Amino acid sequence: NFSLHYQMLKGETLAFWKDSECRFFLGTVLLLTLVVAFDIHGAVYESMGQALRFSSFQIASIVTTTGFATADYEQWPAMSQSILLLCMFLGGSAGSTGGGMKCLRIMLCFKYCYKELFKLIHPHAVSHVKIGGKTVPEDVMRSILGFLALYIGLFALCSVLLAGLGVDILTAFTAVAATIGNIGPGFGMVGPVENFAEIPLLGKWLLIWCMLLGRLEIYTVIILLVPEFWRK
């Protein structure tokens, strides 16, 4: 989050720690890195040092949507590959250049789900979603939940369309996840040691559309396609 960098430059040394999204982001990255390291230790790499080095780099690369790869993670165990796929959806922080759903949205979604469960148990209780000690307005929460629903819906639709063009389901699934999240490599035909050259021409156009949707945060592109926007 660039605003946190600015606060650090102003001398607020605890700015990163005070930010709940930053703590969520760093905690998630650390946890996933350790899980992957223990999973690939022995199965792929002999030393724990190697396992930590490769897992930390690959998790950081994907979750920040940097797109670098220092290992063929398709040779890793299934659990590690599943975690890397999860990281494609997690994305960076709000206020950063990272893609994906963004940690802030996911964190607020979890808080909202907890609030709804709490209301089921305590129907007369008054509860709010809060972040940084401030209540998140309902219209903001609706916008966030709408974005996440659109993200998942477009991901599913584009994956089905790409698979319909003859691309295998693993490649279709991860190619759309990688492009709509602006990640870079995926799995299968678009893995870390492959590229998108073998994707059919129509599939490439579909993935270009996915990249635009992801980079411009979906809402911007959809609004431009609504006729009422141009009438106004």
Strands of the chain, DSSP E? 130-131, 134-135
Give CA–CA dist 199/80, Å, rounded: 25
Q: CA torsion sign, 129 to 134 to 140 to 145?
A: negative
> Nearest CA to 188 among 171, 169, 206, 200?
171
Q: CA torsion sign, 82 to 195 to 201 to 183?
A: positive
- Phi-psi category of 94—alpha, beta or left, where left has phi over 0 and alpha has psi -120 to 50? beta
Query: pLDDT tens for residues 58-93?
Result: 999 999 988 899 999 999 999 999 999 999 998 888
pLDDT band at 232 (very low <50, low <70, confident <90, very high): low
Query: pLDDT tens for residues 118-164?
Result: 889 988 888 888 887 888 888 989 999 999 999 999 999 999 999 99
pTM of the model: 0.88
> Nearest CA to 136 among 232, 16, 21?
21
